[in-house]
Structure 1
Amino acid sequence: MSVKLQKGQKVSLSKENVGLSRIIVGLGWDEVEQKRHGFFAPKPKPIDCDAFALLLKNGKLTGKEDIVYFGNLTHKSRSVMHMGDNLTGEGEGDDEQIMIDLNQVPSEYDRIVIAVNIYQAEARNQHFGMIKNAFVRLVDARNNNEMCIYNLTENYSGQTAMLFGEVYRYNGEWKFSAIGQGTSDKSIGDFAKRYL
């Protein structure tokens, strides 16, 4: 049974799901319909959201190889894999997915940050206020059962990146924390600097 999470809520992944190893982190969003300003105005560019994961050691990012995103689809440990870039966010269900094999995450990593940014947000004059129905959900890859889902319901106008949540180790078990914090970072690299 899936648990609907609220902002700031934490949930145990391993305690409720004995033998859990591989999880799918599904992220989704829809674009708010943009209006043209004038008959001859160009059609607005689609919003290209990019999901990414940061693998942290003691809460810190120690190298760019620990960023899993469309330009680095598989972590060197093979424990975290980005399943591919969706350039438009169109379609039902997850727009992008990140697969995490919890049993394979090297012990020096204690936290995996799950976030999304808008590609070229500043140049395209786009922000998360133009996005609706954003969510992150965790699925048990053994049976495709959704364990939990967090729907982001706040207005994030002016924000160009979003920290959706974190998968982290605590007392020998894996947990997930729903965060939903917007930032004005212009790129994945800018967002990553928060953890240096």
Structure 2
Amino acid sequence: MSSFNKGIRKAEVTLKWDPSPRGAPAADLDIVAAVYRADDPYDNPVYLVHFGSRSPDGTITLHRDSKTGQGFGTDEQMTIELERLSQEYGRVVLGVAIQQREGRLEFGDIQGTSMRVAEGYTELLSSEFGTVARATSATVAEFVREADGTWDMHETVRGFDAEPEEFTGLMGVRQR
């Protein structure tokens, strides 16, 4: 039996932030998408998409990667084509990590942060990271494949005190 619900087919993710004040180290934020198997959605991710990478099948692509926040409008942009993802995948977790190169930076230290997830003209989520101001990385949303094969999104703003590499191992852990 097919569902009348179309679900989310293609999500556009944008991230922006203001450049650091003159003389301060540049803030470098990165969008990260972690893809999990349908039969084990809370184990280790099958693969990650972040700066310098894309999904093996081309369904998740990072189009823009800023290291300073000096873009015009959007600093980072990612497309997630959920309708094209293989049936073997059942969960995609979306997050943001702050590169920690020249001293500790938290979301509260970076001005003008905002993330938006949309499908076409419909905004699905908007976050300014205010609830995770003391975190160095955060999950923002998860896309879950429903029993009928459609995709749904759940907001999951949750902060972590973790370096980017450590964060990728934590971002998909089941919330208690």
TM-score (norm 2): 0.79
**CA offsets per residue over residues 65-98 of structure 1, 9 Å max, x none?**
x1101132x1112111111311112345432111
Aligned letter for 1:75?
A: S
Aligned letter for 1:71?
A: G
Give the Cα separation in 2 of the matches to 1:94 and 1:71. Answer: 17
Equivalent residue number for residue 184 of structure 1:
161
SS at match of 2:56: coil
- Whose radius of gyration is greater, 1 or 2? 1
SS at match of 1:55: strand
SS at match of 1:191: helix
What stretches of structure 2 of length at least 5 have no aligned partner?
none
Give the Cα separation in 2 of the matches to 1:171 and 1:133. Answer: 38
Q: CA deviation at 1:158?
A: 3.4
Matches within 5 A, 1:87-98: 87-91=67-71, 93-98=73-78
Cα gap change, 1:134 to 1:177, in 2 (>3 Å)? farther
Q: CA deviation at 1:19?
A: 8.4
Equivalent residue number for residue 52 of structure 2:
71
Asked if 1:125 is matched to 2:88, the reply is no
Asked if 1:174 is matched to 2:155, the reply is no
SS at match of 2:18: strand
Identical amino acids, percent of aligned pairs:
24
1:68·1:80 contact (CA, 8 Å) conserved in 2?
A: yes
RMSD: 2.6
1:27·1:96 contact (CA, 8 Å) conserved in 2?
A: yes
Asked if 1:46 is matched to 2:29, the reply is no
SS at match of 1:190: helix
What stretches of structure 1 of length at least 5 have no aligned partner?
1-13, 37-42
TM-score (norm 1): 0.72
The number of aligned residues is 165
Equivalent residue number for residue 13 of structure 2:
25
2:27·2:98 contact (CA, 8 Å) conserved in 1?
A: yes
Q: CA deviation at 1:127?
A: 1.2
Greater RCO, 1 or 2 (C-alpha within 8 Å, sep 6+): 1
Aligned letter for 1:159?
A: A
Give the Cα separation in 1 of the matches to 2:45 and 2:118. Answer: 28
Moved more, 82-91 or 104-113: 82-91
Equivalent residue number for residue 56 of structure 1:
36
Cα gap change, 1:27 to 1:71, in 2 (>3 Å)? same
Cα gap change, 1:132 to 1:70, in 2 (>3 Å)? same
Out of 86, 95, 104, the position equivalent to 1:106 is 86
